[in-house]
Amino acid sequence: MTPALLALSPTARFPVPLLQLDGLTRRFKARVALDGLNLAVGAGEIVGLLGPNGAGKSTTFQLLAGLLAPDAGRVLFEGRPLSLHDPALRRRMGIIFQRGSLDDLMSARENLMLGARLYGLTGARARERVEQMLRLIDLQERGDERVSTWSGGMRRRLELARALVHQPRILLMDEPTQGLDEASFRSFWAHLRALRDAEGLTVLLTTHRADEAEMCDRLAVLDSGRLVATDTPAALAARMGGDILTVEAREPESLVAELRQRLGLEARVVEGRVQVEAEQGHALVPRLVEAFPAGRLASVSLRRPTLADVFLQLTGRVLGADQPTAEPARRSRRR
């Protein structure tokens, strides 16, 4: 698809592409990390880059953050081609890095002030923005505390405030909620949405959390440096028409072979369980149970496909498998 088509199709609500990536390519020696990425991000839109490790989402992030230079391709901001290092573009971008940019020896206010100064804000205007941001993240009373004492969730919210203190048009985030618990995750996104509504922000983020992907207006699924799909999360989930059957059993690999042989079913092992996609899932359950002797199957469950399933179908990889918190079995699949 051409960038223009991508911009038009599922995002009629966001008609103006604020940021347009046009054939963005980056190689590392022989490896092509990003292979001609075309993507248009509409003004006010929240777009998630979804992909396993090595899919190119980190490379995309670093290119857009100006930390890497592209080998080919260009970036259009409001329709005008701009160098990724152009201060005019850099100034309109707020960035949240995965590892954070807060100074532990400084207070929340001082951290925000550093961010404001870095983008040329001074005097009363800078102070006003700092207070405004502290209010928006609900941490105004704690603004004079050193951030080293803060929880991960609070620090992330402060990162959000720091990235937005200079009122950028577009916010770029790399795995913004990595390692956050459910409550902090909800709080982070509630604040992000409030800020988006208050400041008309456009957001581009990388993620491998299914719950985070659900929060996006549109997802761009990357695999091996290529864009394999862009659509709303709902439309992506609807691409899989049928049901997902999950079977727990000993020796799942041999069960996959048996399923193919005896029932003619295409199955695969996902995180130690056997998964089958079927149009009429409910009809398949009794057939399955009948076909195998008692005790061979530990459990059979049926559900509607989720984003994670769509991701698996598109890329052949498990979404979220590159989380550092994953159990060892998952980690071995990261290679």
Binding site for another protein (CB under 8 A): 13-16, 43-44, 46, 65-69, 78, 85, 87-88, 90-93, 95, 97-103, 105-106, 110, 114-115, 117-122, 125, 162, 167, 169, 193, 196-200, 214-215, 217, 232-234
Bridge pairing between strands 170-174 and 202-207: parallel
Phi, psi of 300 (to 5 degrees): -130, 130
Q: Whose Cβ is closer to another protein: residue 44's or residue 252's?
A: 44
Q: Which amino acid is at 38?
A: N
Nearer CB in complex with another protein: 7/265: 7
Closest of 108, 113, 209, 116 to residue 156, by C-alpha: 108
Question: Cβ of residue 33: shortest distance to another protein, in angstroms?
Answer: 12
Single out the residue of 135, 206, 204 nearest to residue 177, CA to CA. 206
Q: Cβ of residue 109: shortest distance to another protein, in angstroms?
A: 13
Q: Which is nearer to another protein, 78 or 248 (CB)?
A: 78
For the bound state, the minimum distance from the C-beta of residue 124 to another protein, rounded and expressed in Å, comes to 10
In angstroms, the CA 70 to CA 60 distance is: 9
Q: 90 burial class (0-12, 13-18, 19+ CB within 10 angstroms)? A: middle
Task: Compute the least distance from the CB of residue 155 to another protein, in Å.
Answer: 12
Q: Looking at beta carbons only, is 75 or 255 nearer to another protein?
A: 75
Rounded distance, CA 323 to CA 196, Å? 27
Supply the minimum distance, in Å, between the C-beta of residue 324 and another protein: 14
Q: How far is the CB of 169 from another protein (least distance, A)?
A: 7
Helical packing angle, 152-164 and 182-199, nearest 10°: 20
**Closer of 80 and 287 to another protein (Cβ):** 80
Q: Under a CB-based contact definition with an 8 Å cutoff, are residues 318 and 312 in contact?
A: yes
Least Cβ distance, residue 105 to another protein (angstroms): 5
Q: Which of 15, 34, 14 is nearest to 24 (CA)?
A: 34
Of the pair 22, 86, the CB lying nearest another protein is at 86
State which residue, 77 or 274, has the beta carbon closest to another protein. Answer: 77
Q: How far apart are CA 323 and CA 320, in angstroms?
A: 6
Cα of first residue to Cα of last residue in the chain, in angstroms, is: 30
Evaluated on CA atoms 265, 53, 159, 123, the torsion sign reads negative
Query: Which residue, 132 or 140, has its beta carbon nearer to another protein?
Result: 132
Q: How many CB atoms are closer than 10 A to CB 266?
A: 11
Shortest separation between residue 306's beta carbon and another protein, angstroms: 13
Alpha-carbon gap, residue 161 to 171, rounded angstroms = 11
Residue where the block lists tokens 């076909």: 291
